[in-house]
Structure 1
Amino acid sequence: MGFSADWLALREPADLAARDGALLRRAVQAAGPEPLIVDLGCGTGATWRAMAQHFPKGARWRFVDNDPALLALAAAVAGGGAELVEADIADIDALPLQGATLVTASALLDLVSDAWVQALAERLNAPLYAALSYDGIMHWSPQDPEDAAITHAFNHHQRSDKGLGPALGPDAAGRAAQHLGAKGFDVAQAESPWHIGPDMAELQIALTSGIAQAAADAGAQNARDWGQRRQMAAQNTRCTIGHLDILAIPGRAQIEARHAVR
């Protein structure tokens, strides 16, 4: 599992616009007056850029990623003020969650397995704010006769192994909510869809290229033709790509456990 810095930069404006503002503000409040935010799969620091301005001065960040090049970019964005941890995200027990008052992840849960989310829920005793999990919904205007078939094939591909076991794909937010709720967390969800118009044609072209490739790999025979049509029409196309944000706040038992560790 890994993404290029170019792709992360291209999608960031759509991500930033899509985040549910009310849930983000609740996450900031849940982190407390002296926050330590542990950002899992930090990439180039997009979560920091989306949230840092909302935290009080002196908030501490711990960036966690398995790509040292992305960690370096994230560190530069944060002005060198963040703790950097190069770690295998697959190893839940090794994740540096100690002392966290908020754990964050962006566009991560749809790439991991159900077992991974369940293990994270077992270990967490701090709030979790996980944004921008793909939910399986795509709408295009104007429509193409192959849209539904391509979406179906793409969603099938999203459930394949991305390096952390069979991925949850479109089921990510729902399954995470179930696992966290079972552990006593209070879980809230909010929609955070991408709305991509002709002004984001470059993102549309990259997106439809990736969707077409994934759909073709999943067996959609007309996927590449669909991708070519979508790319040629990007200057006149609008699309909505569904995502969900979740915020899980621990109940009394988890809070007491956190204080006991400290």
Structure 2
Amino acid sequence: MAGFSPEWLALREPADHAARNPQVLAAVGAHFSGRPSLSVVDLGCGGGSNLRGSYAALPDRQHWTLIDHDPALLDHARARLAEWADEAREQGEELVLTKDEKLITVDARRVDLDRDLEWVLGWQPDLVTAAALFDLTSRRWIERFVAALASQRLPLYAVLTYDGREDWQPPHPADAGTQAAFADHQRGDKGFGPAAGPDACEVMAEAFRKTGFAVSTGDSSWLIDDDRAALRAALAEGIADAVRETGRLDPAELSDWLSARRSARSARIGHQDLWARPV
């Protein structure tokens, strides 16, 4: 799977946390509210943002296993978490954190999620979670993943899955063409086969429902305005780079779109959160 830079992950984190659907997160927290402790496997952990966005709703004692294919990102996640915590110390290979009176132990492991998926889920955590991952994976991989979770009756909390909705203001004549080309690019192979892209959340929800899991979804769209100008510019440039690779838009038209979008008044970028659990 293609990697993401620590700089990009840090830039998007405030928008991710602001967008996270509070009703879905509350439902996850309520499900585990009677437990004194919880073990979590976080797939594609990046810089550890998903832990920072979820921990407050979960029990007071948490053990997180962070999974990523990129060892540099795993090191970065540990460093960011140590800075973020009220207290942090090393205990063997684990990082032991305290934050807002919660005790959180963290283990980081490098894993190829295409090759070793079933092995990871075989650790039988109480909760599997991931952020901004599943739109990069293929329909076949999602169905394999859901089947593996269902076989062990493991719940999933998935946040910030891109769903293809974009609303930039003010409108630009190239919006429709750019969005269509970007959607095509999103469906390219990101390391798991042809990606589900903007269809991922719907594919995953349907696969879970077929297994008899209860499924809840909620909107977690980014709202980007002048307070997040750096994110807006980086996002526009990333979209333009992807569209350029498709060759579907006239270069001059794309350049004009990019110039307009760097200084757009606002943008709403669609994401969905999903909570699936056995019943």
Q: Which TM-score applies when normalising by structure 1?
A: 0.90
Equivalences for residues 186-197 of structure 1 within 5 A: 186-197=214-225
Structure 1 equivalent of residue 57 of structure 2: 54
Q: Distance in 1 between matches of 2:188 and 2:203?
A: 16
- 1:127 to partner: Cα distance: 1.0
Q: Distance in 2 between matches of 1:67 and 1:144?
A: 37
Letter in 1 for 2:132: A
Contact 1:30 1:127 in 2 (8 A): no
List structure 1 segments (4+ residues) > 6 angstroms apart after TM superposition.
none
- 1:35 to partner: Cα distance: 1.0
Q: Judging changes above 3 Å, is the alpha-carbon distance between structure 1 residues 159 and 106 closer, same or farther for their aligned structure 2 residues? A: same
Q: Judging changes above 3 Å, is the alpha-carbon distance between structure 1 residues 114 and 68 closer, same or farther for their aligned structure 2 residues? A: same
Equivalences for residues 105-116 of structure 1 within 5 A: 105-116=130-141
Counterpart secondary structure, 1:208: helix
Structure 1 equivalent of residue 145 of structure 2: 120
Counterpart secondary structure, 1:137: strand
Q: Distance in 1 between matches of 2:7 and 2:163?
A: 23
Contact 2:168 2:264 in 1 (8 A): no
Q: Distance in 2 between matches of 1:224 and 1:68?
A: 39
Structure 2, unaligned stretches of length 5 or more? 83-87, 89-94, 96-104
Deviations 1:99-148 (A, max 9, x none): 31111000000000111111111111211011111111111111110001
Structure 1 equivalent of residue 98 of structure 2: none
Counterpart secondary structure, 2:124: coil
Structure 2 equivalent of residue 75 of structure 1: 78
Matched, 1:205 2:233: yes
Query: Among 130, 143, 166, which residue is 2:158 paired with?
Result: 130
Counterpart secondary structure, 2:272: strand
Matched, 1:36 2:60: no
- 1:229 to partner: Cα distance: 4.3
Q: Distance in 2 between matches of 1:97 and 1:194?
A: 34
Q: Distance in 1 between matches of 2:3 and 2:166?
A: 23
Q: Distance in 1 between matches of 2:139 and 2:171?
A: 33
Structure 1 equivalent of residue 26 of structure 2: 25
Counterpart secondary structure, 1:115: helix
Query: Among 81, 97, 108, which residue is 1:84 paired with?
Result: 108
Structure 1, unaligned stretches of length 5 or more? 252-262
Structure with the higher fraction of residues in strand conformation: 2
- 1:73 to partner: Cα distance: 2.1
Q: Distance in 2 between matches of 1:224 and 1:215?
A: 13
Identity %: 39
Letter in 2 for 1:43: G
- 1:60 to partner: Cα distance: 1.1
Deviations 1:68-104 (A, max 9, x none): 1111222230541201111001122232452311110
Q: Judging changes above 3 Å, is the alpha-carbon distance between structure 1 residues 227 and 101 closer, same or farther for their aligned structure 2 residues? A: farther
Contact 1:209 1:227 in 2 (8 A): no
Counterpart secondary structure, 1:59: strand
- 1:222 to partner: Cα distance: 2.9
> RMSD between aligned alpha carbons?
1.7
Structure 1 equivalent of residue 11 of structure 2: 10
| Stretch of structure 1 that moved more, 14-23 or 25-34 | 25-34
Contact 2:46 2:73 in 1 (8 A): yes
Contact 2:121 2:148 in 1 (8 A): no
Letter in 2 for 1:217: E
Contact 1:189 1:245 in 2 (8 A): yes
Contact 1:198 1:234 in 2 (8 A): no
Contact 2:67 2:108 in 1 (8 A): yes
**How many residue pairs are counted as aligned between the two chains?**
251
Q: Distance in 2 between matches of 1:48 and 1:67?
A: 17
